[in-house]
A and B are shown apart, each in its own frame.
Chain A
Amino acid sequence: MAERETILVVDDNFDNVEILRMFLEAQGFTVVEAQDGQTALAKLDETRPDLVLLDVMMPGMDGWQVCRTIKNHPTLADTRVVMVTAKGAFEDKFEGMRSGADDYVVKPVDLKELKTKVERNLAARGKKG
């Protein structure tokens, strides 16, 4: 059996994290949590997840900044980053693109959509170039 893939869920709202954790664990993923940007970066370095589900609006370092940090990092840059954004505005997507994000889901999260997007991003890993 293939190794379980790890997903880091970053959200300052504890309830959101728990919902995502339960859902993703039921799908067979290992879930790591962080409630803010700083912790997320520490966990990333520690656990090297395959994918990060990253909330945009967080106090302190926001999701875009975390994403930029990941994508500019020499060894973390290949981690897939899916932004969880409250808004679907076009300009937000530009911000996401500039931050280097790979995909996004809009809040409130539709779990079926989330599953599709997580799967397509995991499948797209390593295909680049």
Chain B
Amino acid sequence: MKILAQAAAGAAAEGLAAAALQLGAELITVEPGKNGSESPLYGGLRSHPDLVFVPAGPLADLQELRTATRARGAALAVACATPEEALRAAAAGADEWTLPSTTPAELAARLESAMERSRRSSLPQAAAEVAEHLQYEELLYDRFTGFPTLPLMLERAREMLERSGRLTLLYIEFVRYSKLEEIYGWQKLDEVLQSTAAAVRDFYDQQRDAQESLLMVSHAGDDDFIFFTDLPEPVDQAERRINELAEALQTYIRERLEQDHGADIASLFDIYIGSTTIFRNPKIRTERMIYRGIREAAQAARSVEHRERSRKVADLKETLRQGAVYVEYHPIVITATKEIYGYEALARGSHRAMRSPQILFGVAEEANLIWELSRLCRQRAVEGMETHLQAHQLLFINIDPHDFRDPAFRSMKAEDLGIEHPERIVLEITERTAITDYPAFQVYLKEFRDQGFRFAVDDAGSGYAGLGSIANLQPDFIKLDISLISDIDTNFMKQNLVETMVSFANEHDIKVIAEGVEREDEYETVKGLGVHLTQGFLFHKPARAGQGPR
């Protein structure tokens, strides 16, 4: 047993040495990396440690280390100084974490259990397959579609591979707009996934009638599906047939989504299909070949996605050139009276390919056009105020964290936006993005606040900022993350948290907004907890200027 640790000082080092001794493990200690150079930990990983033990660092570093350790089949444990750090370690997917109060005996037990967990989740003699095994473990369960589960699928795929000597996999990847749930509600997302699953199943049935060779379909983890097919064509013609099949499937699903849910919702989904063919090889275990095939097909789907994205950059440039962005307004109501207090502006691209904000902003970020896009969206949002908002209603605008580096945004004045009353504009900043430089950030915020703009912390409760950090930002509003609101009527933990946040907000003269309220029971619960404002599908859907409730 081998433990690779980053050097610590004093009691922590002694504790670790004692724990290693108790476990009978070899302890290898490396120095922390210097700025700009690769951490010696990564070099140490090549010696195949069973566990890597490091002090908590930034989330991104931990995540990177998690990927590296997982690829080598090593467990990851993190020494945390505070509960916040432990949350970060958990978020990064560490197998275990410790706090300063952890005794050497407890540390030994925890490290051992971390290794045990990591071992259990790895395939024998194949550390490189650990990651994919974890990913495909999800295939074991299918709550949604009733499609065959992995063991069944494997068995049949193996039979097929052995019978015909080859097996083609089509991996169907769904990419969805992440705010879909927030705006349309999780029921809507469930409905969309249900009809997608039904479309895949119908397509499968039709194809199977036409040709015996399409063998089966399975629901792969998240929202992805896999087809296994044994094409009768000669190898040189098979590729064309696979492409036809993929194209037909994509069209079929898209048509079904549009028919069931309308073009707007269908546009929030992208479908990418990747394929690969594996050939029987008696020297390699069949399951491993199939796993590898799934992985290759998934990668192929992602590279299709990538190609599509380059095409989208061109679309985005066209969108910016034409100013082809419009805004939907999503009402925020006063919880007690249900009167409309303000609207959140949600940007959409006018061109079909650019409709989804996720695509719009995702593409803009990749193409380094985010400032231009943000400026256009702000302008559009404000333009619609006249026709859509009453004089006392506020406009909530999402600010991308990148915007704070845009000189045009930093020096933005109310008159640049063509408005007389900056106090009607609420700039929403998401808590999801870690704000690393608080003092600098507060300076920016103050400049805006001095001009009269107001602030909201968006998605509060989703990140790890904690109440202290929220208090430091002195926002006018706190928008609770949807994860805090969904099912709050039956979850007392969430009720307690929201209650705490409301009383915190009351002390600091902040208004709390519950986002994603979808059911009457959820509404009654947030109302009972004293949440000031409510936004959600239960009351209103987002609508274009002049079309929705006012």
- Residues of B close to A97: CB separation below 8 A: 461, 483-484, 491, 493-494, 497
- Residues of A close to B213: CB separation below 8 A: none
Asked if B113 and A91 make an inter-chain contact with CB atoms under 8 angstroms apart, the answer reads: no
How many chain B residues sit at the interface, stated as a range, is: 20 to 34
Distance of A84 Cα from B201 Cα, bound (Å): 45
Asked if B493 and A128 make an inter-chain contact with CB atoms under 8 angstroms apart, the answer reads: no
Interface of B is mostly: helix
Min CB distance A120 to B, Å, is 7
Q: Which of A83, A94, A127 touches B497 (beta carbons < 8 Å)? A: A94
- Residues of A close to B109: CB separation below 8 A: 59-60
Min CB distance B519 to A, Å, is 7
Asked if A93 and B500 make an inter-chain contact with CB atoms under 8 angstroms apart, the answer reads: yes
Pick from B11-19, B82-90, B353-361 the stretch touching chain A. B82-90
Distance of A74 Cα from B143 Cα, bound (Å): 7
Contact with A along B482-515 (1 / 0, CB 8 A): 0110010111111011001000000000000000
Output the nearest chain B residue to A80 by Cβ-Cβ distance. Answer: B490
Asked if B110 and A102 make an inter-chain contact with CB atoms under 8 angstroms apart, the answer reads: no
Distance of A104 Cα from B492 Cα, bound (Å): 8
Asked if B497 and A93 make an inter-chain contact with CB atoms under 8 angstroms apart, the answer reads: yes
Min CB distance B136 to A, Å, is 15
Q: Which of A61, A96, A120 touches B113 (beta carbons < 8 Å)? A: A61
For the complex, is A121 an interface residue (Cβ under 8 Å from B)?
yes
Output the nearest chain A residue to B91 by Cβ-Cβ distance. Answer: A98
Distance of A103 Cα from B495 Cα, bound (Å): 9
Q: Which of A60, A94, A95, A117 touches B492 (beta carbons < 8 Å)? A: A117
For the complex, is B304 an interface residue (Cβ under 8 Å from A)?
no
Distance of A83 Cα from B493 Cα, bound (Å): 9
For the complex, is B221 an interface residue (Cβ under 8 Å from A)?
no
Asked if B492 and A102 make an inter-chain contact with CB atoms under 8 angstroms apart, the answer reads: yes
For the complex, is B466 an interface residue (Cβ under 8 Å from A)?
yes
Asked if B489 and A127 make an inter-chain contact with CB atoms under 8 angstroms apart, the answer reads: yes
Residues of B451-497 contacting chain A, CB below 8 A: 461, 466-467, 483-484, 487, 489-494, 496-497
Asked if B113 and A92 make an inter-chain contact with CB atoms under 8 angstroms apart, the answer reads: no
Asked if B493 and A90 make an inter-chain contact with CB atoms under 8 angstroms apart, the answer reads: no
List residues of B whose CB falls within 8 A of some A CB.
83-84, 86-87, 90, 106, 109-110, 112-113, 117, 141, 143, 461, 466-467, 483-484, 487, 489-494, 496-497, 500, 519, 521
List residues of A whose CB falls within 8 A of some B CB.
59-61, 64, 74, 83, 89-98, 101-104, 117, 120-121, 124, 127-129
**Cross-chain pairs A/B with CB under 8 angstroms, 25 sampled:** A59-B106, A59-B110, A60-B109, A60-B110, A61-B113, A61-B117, A83-B493, A89-B83, A90-B497, A92-B83, A93-B496, A94-B87, A95-B86, A97-B461, A97-B483, A97-B491, A97-B494, A98-B90, A98-B483, A101-B493, A102-B491, A103-B493, A127-B490, A127-B521, A129-B487
